Amino acid sequence: MAETDAVPQDPIRRYSNVTVAIHWTTVALVLLQIWLGLSLDDLKGAARANTFDWHKTIGVTILLLTIGRLTYRLSNPPPAFSPDVPSWERIAAVWNHRLFYLLLIGLPIGGYVAVSGFVGGKPTTLVGGITVPTLPGISKQMGELAGEAHGALAWGLIALIAVHFLAAMKHQFINHAPASGRMPPFRPPHGEETVVGQGHGATPIEAARA
């Protein structure tokens, strides 16, 4: 079954608690990370160094969390869409999510390459004085290029978040779509029942009814 296919469902299938917990933790970390990243330009000296240590630490955390999330997702595919979501919206949602994964991995890696160029391959520090090795053989010029790409991709991520947020609001408050309950604590607007539908095949309730 393709990821964009729709399956009639009652109750509405939703994401598992593992995905929901990772989703909202990622949201908090990404918003904090964007704020820290944008603050860097206005800071100097110790305040900048401290903010930068937090930026690198949160970046590594987002990268590891995203790799864990993708690994989990491979054996637990997302809940199938319900037919009340039009086909163009299903395609847009799937691509929005794919681009999120690409950026949540590409952005920290771009930052890592940039830091490697700036420190000339020497280890770099995270919060708590933890040191991590950097990539050897990255010139200052390559680091600067990676830093520029990192900044541009960050704006891409901000745009993606805006589209994603507006789509969720549209489903909840304009369409009053039952599918709004896919990512708790959001609930379907008319109080329809939901069930964890992440994984293969029918949900246990649907299987019992079949």
93-112 residues near ligand HEM, rule: CB under 6 A:
93, 97, 100
Residues 6+ apart with CB under 8 A from 188: 12, 177, 178, 179, 180, 181, 194
Q: From CA 85, how far away is CA 104, in angstroms rounded? A: 26
Closest separation between CB of residue 101 and ligand HEM, Å?
6
- Judged by CB under 6 A, does residue 183 bind ligand HEM? yes
Tell me if 117 sits within 8 A of 139, measured CB to CB. yes
In this complex, which beta carbon is closest to ligand HEM, that of residue 48 or of residue 97?
97
Q: Which one of 21, 23, 87, 155 is in contact with ligand HEM (CB under 6 A)?
A: 23
- Judged by CB under 6 A, does residue 165 bind ligand HEM? yes
Cα–Cα distances (Å) from 130 to 56, 108, 138, 177, 198, in that order, read: 11, 17, 22, 47, 37
Judged by CB under 6 A, the stretch of 22-30, 39-47, 105-113, 122-130 that binds ligand HEM is: 22-30
138-157 residues near ligand HEM, rule: CB under 6 A:
none
Secondary structure of residue 168 in the 3-state scheme: helix
How many helices (H) and strands (E) the chain has is answered by 5, 4
Rounded to the nearest angstrom, the gap between the alpha carbon of residue 131 and the centroid of all alpha carbons in its chain is 26
Q: From CA 79, how far away is CA 25, in angstroms rounded? A: 20
Q: Which one of 57, 113, 182, 188 is in contact with ligand HEM (CB under 6 A)?
A: 182
- Judged by CB under 6 A, does residue 186 bind ligand HEM? yes
Binding-site size, ligand HEM (CB under 6 A): 18
Closest separation between CB of residue 164 and ligand HEM, Å?
5
- In one letter, which amino acid is 84? D
Tell me if 12 sits within 8 A of 172, measured CB to CB. no
Closest separation between CB of residue 31 and ligand HEM, Å?
6
Closest separation between CB of residue 60 and ligand HEM, Å?
16
Tell me if 180 sits within 8 A of 189, measured CB to CB. yes
Closest separation between CB of residue 128 and ligand HEM, Å?
25
Contact map string, positions 28 to 47, toward ligand HEM, x by CB under 6 A = --xx----------------
Positions in the binding site for ligand HEM (CB under 6 A): 23, 26-27, 30-31, 73, 78, 93, 97, 100, 161, 164-165, 168, 179, 182-183, 186
